[in-house]
Structure 1
Amino acid sequence: MDRKTFIQKTTMGILLSIPAVSMLGCSGSDDNGNGVPDPDPDPTPTAKNCVENGTSASVSSAQNHTHTLTVSKEDVSAATTKTYDLSESANHIHQVTLEANDFQALKDNPNQSITKVSTTNSQHSHNVTVSCA
């Protein structure tokens, strides 16, 4: 094959392949060609809702330890004053009380958090923060 024929065939191959590649690469469908839609690349975050999702709680560290607390969605729904035992840690337990108005505040404004101070035990207390999950 001479140089002129080579250039003509190469040019023709390139010109014919561009539309084919464009048609294959740009489909108007968002199902990857398999009939299953692509997942949303930017899903809307789940809204915070204590009644549906429960809560998350954090307990500040004091004297080199921390405790944990679980507040159920049922407790939030009931919205009645309740005293919780924080998990045992460093051989002692603290308590924290959430009032009915605390639960109502979480239900009314799920983006806010409630911070309470636990009971004192072993000469210290902990800050307990409860927020909607």
Structure 2
Amino acid sequence: MDRKSFLKKISAAFIIGVPLLSLWNCSSSSEDDPTPDDMDPDGSTASCVDNGTSSSIGSNHGHTLTVSKDDVTTGTAKTYHITGSSSHAHSVTVTADHFTTLKDGSSVTVESTSSGHTHSVTISCA
């Protein structure tokens, strides 16, 4: 093998091998590591029990929802009225299973009652 062939083979191995090594290193993770969805902007893990919740209401026009950290801790099913500044009423029911999911740091999505239309409501840890 001459020098030129040797350098080509080494270069090819380097070009292929380094990205594969990077992929292998990135693919290992622990289920206990927080995911980006579980992280606050400051890098800490979001906690519904410690910080309460925030809510996002799809196709919103004045509705609001507040789920307190006490409600999450209690974990008993509860119906919330989300009328807010809207001219019509909706409500959402958060079940005991939903509260368990929130206690675990994950978000839940529920559908509101109908008032000619419904809203998809996502509750996340603050």
Answering whether residue 81 of structure 2 is matched by residue 85 of structure 1, we say: yes
Larger Rg: 1
Q: Which whole-Å deviations, capped at 9, do the CAs of 1:39-86 have from their partners, x for residues lacking one?
A: xxxx96222000000001010115xx2411000000000000000000
Report runs of 4+ in structure 1 exceeding 6 Å deviation: none
Match among 98, 101, 104 for residue 102 of structure 1: 98
Name the SS of the counterpart of 2:97 in structure 1.
Answer: helix
Per the alignment, residue 122 of structure 2 pairs with 129
RMSD (Å), alpha carbons = 1.8
Name the SS of the counterpart of 2:87 in structure 1.
Answer: coil
Per the alignment, residue 113 of structure 2 pairs with 119
After superposition, the Cα gap between the structure-2 partners of 1:68 and 1:44, relative to the gap in structure 1 and judged at 3 Å, is closer
TM-score between both structures, scaled by the size of structure 2: 0.63
Amino acid at match of 1:45: G
Kindly report which structure 2 residues correspond to 1:1-133, keeping only aligned pairs within 5 A, or say none: 45-61=43-59, 65-108=61-104, 110=105, 112-121=106-115, 123-133=116-126
After superposition, the Cα gap between the structure-2 partners of 1:89 and 1:118, relative to the gap in structure 1 and judged at 3 Å, is same
Could you list the runs of 5+ residues in structure 1 that have no partner in the other structure?
1-42
In structure 2, what is the Cα distance between the partners aligned to 1:130 and 1:74?
A: 15
In structure 1, what is the Cα distance between the partners aligned to 2:97 and 2:86?
A: 32
After superposition, the Cα gap between the structure-2 partners of 1:56 and 1:44, relative to the gap in structure 1 and judged at 3 Å, is closer
> Number of residues paired by the alignment?
86
In structure 2, what is the Cα distance between the partners aligned to 1:71 and 1:127?
A: 15
Could you list the runs of 5+ residues in structure 2 that have no partner in the other structure?
1-40
TM-score between both structures, scaled by the size of structure 1: 0.60
Identical amino acids, percent of aligned pairs: 51
